[in-house]
Amino acid sequence: MKFLALIYSQPNSEPEYNTPEWDEMLKDYMAITEEFKRDGVFIAGEGLQDVSTATSVKVRVNQAELHDGPFAETKEQLGGFYLLDCKDLDQALQYAAKIPSAKWGTVEVRPVAEY
């Protein structure tokens, strides 16, 4: 069963770029990604660019409306994701707890709908 682990954090809550703490975070991400692959649960995973690069699209009366920024109005920002293939929600939650950003942000786990 597929699960999407959405990685959220508040701006400036993660280690600052180009510091030893940043390097440690990247090392932790590389290690957990390798663990996901080794365990056969990894399908995909990517980090996202800063929320300032987001564009939201709405279609109203057959017209596309473009808006700068993310759709959700929240203090936490979506920073990346993992798509995992796990046997059940419990296993997905165990893997999500290992994602480094869970230490300072939130990892939302949601089953992928299958049609």
* CA dihedral over 94, 99, 103, 104, signed as positive or negative: negative
pLDDT tier, 67 (very low <50, low <70, confident <90, very high otherwise)? confident
Host domain of residue 59:
2-111
Q: Which of 23-37, 52-66, 87-101 has the lowest mean pLDDT?
A: 52-66
| pLDDT tens-digit series, residues 30-46 | 999 999 999 999 999 99
pLDDT in tens, 5-29: 999 998 888 899 899 999 999 999 9
Instruction: Assess contact for 65 and 58: CB atoms under 8 A.
Output: yes
Please report which confidence band the pLDDT of residue 75 belongs to, taking 50, 70 and 90 as the band edges.
confident
Indicate if the pLDDT at residue 71 is higher than 80.
no
Output DSSP code: residue 16. P
**C-alpha distance from residue 10 to each of 31, 43, 102 (Å):** 23, 26, 12
The answer to whether the CB of 10 falls within 8 A of the CB of 93 is no
Give the sign of the dihedral formed by CA 69, CA 72, CA 75, CA 76: negative
Q: Supply the CATH number for residue 7's domain.
A: 3.30.70.1060
For the chain, how many structural domains are there in total?
1
Number of other residues whose CB lies within 10 A of the CB of residue 66:
8
Number of other CB atoms surrounding residue 82 within 10 Å: 25
